[in-house]
């Protein structure tokens, strides 16, 4: 278990101690984070962890191989290894941290000069 994960577990335990009404929600998360290699979460929990709107997105990611999961006949639910969900969340955060700012006018001008053709938003100007 990484040091970051240990710190997260400790913080969750502190929150649970201060707010006993959260025990039902936090206990399974604390347990899962304590041994992530063995723990699995269902599609709804993965949806919340990954910040997507629909469980169908999680299921589709499993079908596409973006996320590893297995169907549990006993519970009739998808089971996703917690480690896999955390890996994908880390990838999402790394992509978000990479920027994504809009191009400046200068950058757009440089692109238009160095690239052949007409930009889609300028095609109506030509016609």
Q: What is the pLDDT of residue 1?
A: 44
Nearest CA to 50 among 78, 2, 22, 90?
90
Q: Which two tokens stand for residue 52?
A: 């997507």
pLDDT in tens, the chain (127 residues): 444 777 788 888 888 889 888 888 888 788 777 775 667 889 999 999 898 999 999 999 999 999 999 998 998 999 998 888 888 888 888 777 776 667 778 877 787 777 777 767 777 655 5
Are residues 26 and 42 part of one domain?
no
Are residues 84 and 52 part of one domain?
yes
88, 73 Cβ separation under 8 angstroms = no
Residue ranges making up the domain that contains 16: 1-34
Are residues 61 and 26 part of one domain?
no
Nearest CA to 42 among 121, 34, 50, 116?
50
Strand order in the sheet with 70-72: 40-42, 77-81, 70-72
- Could you tell me if residue 24 is inside a domain? yes
Q: What is the pLDDT of residue 59?
A: 95
Q: Which two tokens stand for residue 97?
A: 């941290």
Are residues 12 and 47 part of one domain?
no
How far is residue 63's CA from residue 43's CA, in Å, rounded to a whole number? 13
């Amino acid at each position: 278990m990484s040091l970051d994960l240990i710190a997260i577990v400790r913080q969750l335990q502190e929150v649970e101690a201060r707010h006993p009404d959260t025990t039902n929600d936090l206990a399974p998360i604390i347990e899962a984070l304590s041994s992530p290699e063995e723990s699995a979460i269902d599609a709804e929990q993965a949806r919340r962890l990954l910040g997507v709107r629909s469980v169908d997105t999680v299921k589709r990611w499993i079908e596409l191989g973006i996320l590893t999961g297995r169907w549990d006949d006993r519970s009739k639910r998808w089971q996703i290894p917690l480690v896999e969900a955390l890996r994908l969340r880390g990838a999402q955060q790394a992509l978000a941290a990479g920027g994504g700012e809009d191009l400046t006018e200068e950058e757009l001008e440089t692109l238009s000069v160095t690239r052949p053709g007409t930009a889609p938003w300028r095609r109506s100007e030509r016609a």
